[in-house]
Structure 1
Amino acid sequence: MTGFHEVQFPLRLALGTSGGPVRRTDIVSLSNGRENRNARWRDSRRSYDAGSGIRSIGDLYEVLAFFEARRGGLYGFRFRDPLDWKSCAPGEAPSDMDQVIGTGDGATAVFPLVKTYGDAGGAWVRRIAKPVAGTVVVSVDGLAVDPEAYAVDVVAGTATFAAGHVPPAGAVVRAGFAFDVPVRFAIDRIDVSLAHFDAGRIPSIPLTEILP
């Protein structure tokens, strides 16, 4: 992923963030009253607004400094989705049984991290590009794998098994993790309003996901 800084938008400044997944669907109404629907995007794309509300001068300056360091929308960065940032449900802890990330064939050593959203009606598999360092745990056929047996690339979002530990054919590989969303500023201008002598607000800080 080019034009990306491996830094995270400050968590305490992201309180009050709104947003979530966005999809694009073409809907054509037919003369008989029925519809034709077509997905324009294969994957959803997340969009957020991290508008700060009332903040101290120090917090406002921190946002401005972060914006300037990214040069507006030029460089991407990590952002913690306040609702969806783990391989499991919000109230649970990541487990090495959370997500199926592949099936061994005896030769493949690199497995991209993914998260599946699904129910009886269907499923969608999301590529996880920015796992959080130190949070990834892996299992093969239900048995936890020694962390020394694999390496995690937190920039590319992959787990690579070391020689001698490659999953055998038919073995189900699972993983658990925390992750960030790769985003960029959706604007090249930040407007700051000083409501008081020592406090103010930034009404809107729109962010958009960068797809891997």
Structure 2
Amino acid sequence: MSFHDVRFPTRISYGAVGGPRFSTTVQILNSGFEQRNINWAQARREYSFDISPSRGEDWTTVLNFFHARRGRAYGFRLKDFSDFELAEQSIGTGDNSTTEFQIFKRYIDDDELAPPYDRELKKIVADTVEVSVDGTPLASGWSVDETTGILTFDVAPVTDADIAVACEFDVPVRFDTDLMQAAIPGPDIHHWQSVKLVEIRI
């Protein structure tokens, strides 16, 4: 198992800097024009933050967390405070036979110059999910796998029924280093700067 289903302490990660990164190869032609190639269909998020200064219990928490993940070996959850909520959004349409639907978030270009960008959400936060079918909230008759983002109905929604979900979600990440390069400028004072996390595909 290369993923531990635990969240990095939010009181420490709050203030992290980062967001989605795409991969594009840019080739400059002899004419001076550019040819651009999209390498990744999906973005990969990257973050960095400083644990500076950290004292007592907070530092022990970070130290224990880093050891438990064995550096880069195991992934974990991160709350991205810039993008952690899915407002009520349609994720599918019933066909009277399908019972499982992948939760995703859709990003829409306001200028309509590009097609919508769909991001699968696979790390759902417990007890935050709301489900509705054709605008009617459902309190039961469904379940969500919080580790895969799969919504499962007990009975398949009828044909053409609109299935909508609202929830909170985390990002699956790992440390981008095997070395905890901490400085200790004084008694019970610790600095670990430019801690880097990268999103992992699961």
TM-score normalized by structure 2?
Answer: 0.94
Contiguous gaps of at least 5 residues in structure 1: 89-97
Q: Which residue identity is paired with 1:33? A: G
Contiguous gaps of at least 5 residues in structure 2: none
Aligned equivalent of 2:179? 189
Query: What aligned pairs does 1:1-212 form with structure 2 within 5 A after superposition?
Result: 2-88=1-87, 98-119=88-109, 120-122=112-114, 123-146=116-139, 148-163=140-155, 166-212=156-202
SS at match of 2:64: helix
Q: Which residue identity is paired with 1:161? A: F
**Percent of residue pairs bearing the same amino acid type:** 39
Q: CA separation in 1, counterparts of 2:106 and 2:15?
A: 26
Q: What is the count of residue pairs matched by the alignment? A: 199
Q: CA separation in 2, counterparts of 1:105 and 1:82?
A: 36
- 1:91-136 deviations in Å (ceiling 9; x for gaps): xxxxxxx222111111110011100011222220000010001101
Q: Which residue identity is paired with 2:151? A: A
SS at match of 1:131: coil
Q: CA separation in 2, counterparts of 1:61 and 1:211?
A: 29
Q: CA separation in 2, counterparts of 1:53 and 1:72?
A: 19
Q: CA deviation at 1:26?
A: 1.1
SS at match of 1:115: strand
Q: Which residue identity is paired with 1:151? A: S
